[in-house]
Structure 1
Amino acid sequence: MRQKDIDVLRGVRILIVEDEPLLSMAMVDEIEEAGARVVGPVASVEGALEILATTPVDAAILDVELQKQLVYPVADRLIERDVPFVLTTGHDADGLPERYAAVPHSAKPAPASEALTMLADLLSRR
């Protein structure tokens, strides 16, 4: 990860929404190494929405499909709040709804650093 990414991420609260424990743990490690703070991780849409109702977040990494449920309600809530996020998916990203066309996405499995670099780029534009 580039030093400028680490500088941008330092102290940022990042929500992780991921239902695969190994990927989730890798993201937690990468986020903490960059000096950011992990919110979650959570493995369900309901859990993510509960966190968003009570806990401020600055950014998020969302797995598109969680236990056969799509993460779109969480993504929509983040858009309403103007919170940047990255989508990760093991499926064809061309199948994402048009409203997420401008949202960066990472193909799974990819290194956690890929999604985190995309998130740093989004945050640096603010």
Structure 2
Amino acid sequence: MIGRTLRGRRIVILEDDYFQAHDCKAMLEQAGAVVVAVSATIPSLDGLLAKGPIDAVLIDINLGDSVSFDFARLLVCNAIPFAFLTGYDAAMLPDDLAGRAYISKPADHARVRAVLAEIIASRPG
């Protein structure tokens, strides 16, 4: 069921740990998702959207020398579902992002796939 839910879904991975990013990419592609971008830094959302729609974003809180909260807020404004994948405690999320999908590192593949499938399925429209 989860594999079918992710099949063909366009996912972006924002992760500054090379091995974590590529492990997630391989796992999601094995589940049938299309990983349209992997970035260790905060990208331009307009640039990503120019390549086509985005079904979900897997986003680390700390990307190099910056945090991803403003990018997460931009995703909220554009109704793009996302899940934080981070080693930080959920308590560090700002009030406006608290309650968003959150996966603690290290996370197993089944958990990542399940959370992504859930946030994609709950997207309006």
Look up the SS of the partner of 2:114 in the other structure.
helix
Is residue 64 from structure 1 mapped to residue 61 from structure 2 by the alignment? Answer: yes
Is residue 37 from structure 1 mapped to residue 34 from structure 2 by the alignment? Answer: yes
Map Cα deviations across residues 37-66 of structure 1 (whole Å, 9 max, x no partner): 002100001x35464352321111000001
RMSD: 1.6
For structure 1, which runs of at least 5 residues remain unmatched after alignment?
Answer: none
Identity %: 32
| C-alpha distance in structure 2 between counterparts of 1:9 and 1:48, whole Å | 24
For structure 2, which runs of at least 5 residues remain unmatched after alignment?
Answer: none
Residue matched to 1:79:
76
Look up the SS of the partner of 1:77 in the other structure.
helix
Aligned-pair distance for 1:99? Answer: 1.2
Distance 1:24 1:18, change over 3 A: same
| C-alpha distance in structure 2 between counterparts of 1:57 and 1:91, whole Å | 25
Look up the SS of the partner of 1:44 in the other structure.
coil
| C-alpha distance in structure 2 between counterparts of 1:5 and 1:97, whole Å | 30
Aligned-pair distance for 1:102? Answer: 2.3
4+ residue segments displaced more than 4 Å: none
Distance 1:48 1:21, change over 3 A: farther
The count of residues paired between Structure 1 and Structure 2 equals 122
Aligned-pair distance for 1:13? Answer: 0.3
| C-alpha distance in structure 2 between counterparts of 1:91 and 1:109, whole Å | 11
Q: Which has the higher helix share?
A: 1
For normalisation by structure 1, the TM-score amounts to: 0.88
| C-alpha distance in structure 2 between counterparts of 1:48 and 1:105, whole Å | 22
Within a 5 Å distance, the mapping from 1:1-126 to structure 2 comes to 4-45=1-42, 47-49=43-45, 51-55=47-51, 56-126=53-123
| C-alpha distance in structure 1 between counterparts of 2:47 and 2:110, whole Å | 23
